[in-house]
Chains A and B, each alone.
Chain A
Amino acid sequence: MKDWSYLYASVQGKGHIEENIPCQDFCNIFHHTNYTICVVSDGAGSCEKSDIGSKKATEFANTYFPKLIEEKKWHKPHAKIKTKDWHKAAIKGLKAIRDDLERVSISEGCEIKELSCTLIILIQLKERLLITHIGDGRAGYCNIKDEWKAMMKPYKGGYSNETVFITSNIWGDKEKLNHYIESRVCSEKIKAFCLLSDGCENASFECYKVNSETYVPEDLNKPFKDFFHENINTNIPKLVKSGKEPQELNEIWKSFLTNGNDTLKNESDDKTMILAVKISA
């Protein structure tokens, strides 16, 4: 998307570095005429080939979602998009990705569950954002009043680090699909947005806070303004205007996600974040 900069990277968490486990997260940005697709996928830690699953799922998102957007003409100016229509289309797209993962599992000689991964797909149109996801992770945006808001609610299982995956056994039941897959349309005017795997949530979101009145912990699911504010308003525009190429920006971003502050540095899980920033002239 013109006038926007995209910083994206996936890096190994501290635990995976120590144990020499490959990064199981993957992310990518795909630019199309009049829209951009951003994808974040987090491979299940307990599955041996989930790094392949997350990489393939990200690629497949760019196979099916452009077709879907262009068929519906949602990339055309002033297209009307209802949340329920987007949700229905997104489920179709996610199912096609799941079926392709099944084909990958056959060629890899493993069960599809070995490729288990979560998926967050965001379509940035000129006037709105479409988001759909299955599993955990977080996403948020900053409107032109500098207010940060969440764009999705992660699905968390009973225990921490448990969630649902695109490979999970949910596809034959419509009720289950509506329970596990969430799709939203955001029509506010925005200046930045972020998508992240759960490895970045402690650093950038208010996730688990103790309510000061009830003393009961709750998941606020709120992007933490102090994490983003200076970066989107000052640091990133400055880097872009200094002539840094996208690849250089991503290297800086990678280093930032690796050890930008103590929370990032000490995180044991893999970390992925896409941060998109509108650069004013």
Chain B
Amino acid sequence: MNELTAISPKNFQKPCLCVLALDVSSSMAGTPILELNSALQEFYHSINQDDEAAEKLEICLITFGSEVKCIQEPAKVDDFKMPSLIADGTTKLVDGIKLAIKQVDLRKEYYKKYSPQYSRPMILVITDGEPDSDQDVHGLASLLNDDMIAKKYTLHVIGTSGYNYSKISQFCPKELIYEIGLNYSRFFKWLSRSTDEISSGKSLSDISGSDFMQQSPIN
């Protein structure tokens, strides 16, 4: 028996930005890019079916190959269709992350103007390789270090089959590197229900259901 009753107000959901920086270099051609495209579609539909997530989550898509592009400005799932990616070219990974950071900065300016509260933006980098040899890895390492201290965003690098752990760890703190093999689908299913916790700064391995991700050896 309900002895107490209550109606709650409809409150605006605090926005949460998720920037996906995706490797589309030629090594992703074939099964990896097919798996990634399929997982991105599933991710899109999972968010779309979750009213709360659909209202607050803004997704931004960056691709890096020989060129770095923002193929989707921050938007809610209602306002865009998930594109299909094509693999080609080299791996301008550092430039891809820098563009992701730029998108975070721009969106935070917007939030500061128009939202009383917002969640910490998150950047997830997915790669099967390593940065091109002419990429400024050390400059990025220093930038990420400063930004992490300032809690500007959360960032994780998700390595898929073939990624070069030792190169990635030259710019990214080791505890932020995870390996998923070819488990794109599982990763994006998990991501669709874990964005709040990632944004809060929790270690990915502490979030339930993350046991399929390997924290790469710290050495």
A interface, CB within 8 angstroms of B: 15, 18-19, 45-46, 156, 159-161, 202-210, 216-219, 224, 226-228, 230-231, 235-236, 239, 252-253, 256, 260-264, 266, 268
Number of A-B contacts (CB under 8 A): 93
Nearest-neighbour CB distance to chain A for B54, whole angstroms, equals: 14
The distance in angstroms between the C-alpha atoms of A256 and B200, with both chains bound, is 27
Q: Assess whether A235 is in contact with B114, with CB atoms less than 8 Å apart.
A: no
Question: Provided the pairs A45-B200, A160-B118, A219-B116 are in contact, do residues A235 and B5 lie with their beta carbons within 8 angstroms?
Answer: yes
* Chain B residue total in the interface (Cβ 8 A): 27
Known: A159-B119, A203-B8, A208-B14. 11 other contacts (CB 8 A): A15-B196, A160-B117, A208-B117, A210-B12, A226-B8, A227-B8, A228-B6, A230-B5, A252-B3, A260-B5, A260-B6
Quick one: closest A residue to B114, CB to CB? A216
Question: Provided the pairs A206-B11, A207-B11, A208-B14 are in contact, do residues A231 and B5 lie with their beta carbons within 8 angstroms?
Answer: yes
A-B contact list, 30 entries, CB within 8 Å: A19-B208, A156-B117, A160-B117, A202-B9, A202-B11, A204-B6, A204-B8, A205-B9, A208-B11, A208-B14, A208-B116, A209-B11, A209-B12, A217-B114, A217-B115, A217-B116, A218-B116, A219-B117, A226-B6, A227-B7, A231-B5, A231-B6, A235-B4, A235-B5, A236-B4, A239-B3, A252-B3, A256-B4, A260-B4, A261-B6
The distance in angstroms between the C-alpha atoms of A224 and B119, with both chains bound, is 24
Q: Assess whether A18 is in contact with B11, with CB atoms less than 8 Å apart.
A: no
The distance in angstroms between the C-alpha atoms of A268 and B208, with both chains bound, is 14
B residues near A203, Cβ cutoff 8 Å: 6, 8
Q: Assess whether A159 is in contact with B116, with CB atoms less than 8 Å apart.
A: no
B interface, CB within 8 angstroms of A: 2-9, 11-14, 52, 114-120, 151, 196-197, 199-201, 208
B residues near A202, Cβ cutoff 8 Å: 8-9, 11
Question: Provided the pairs A203-B6, A205-B9 are in contact, do residues A46 and B116 lie with their beta carbons within 8 angstroms?
Answer: no
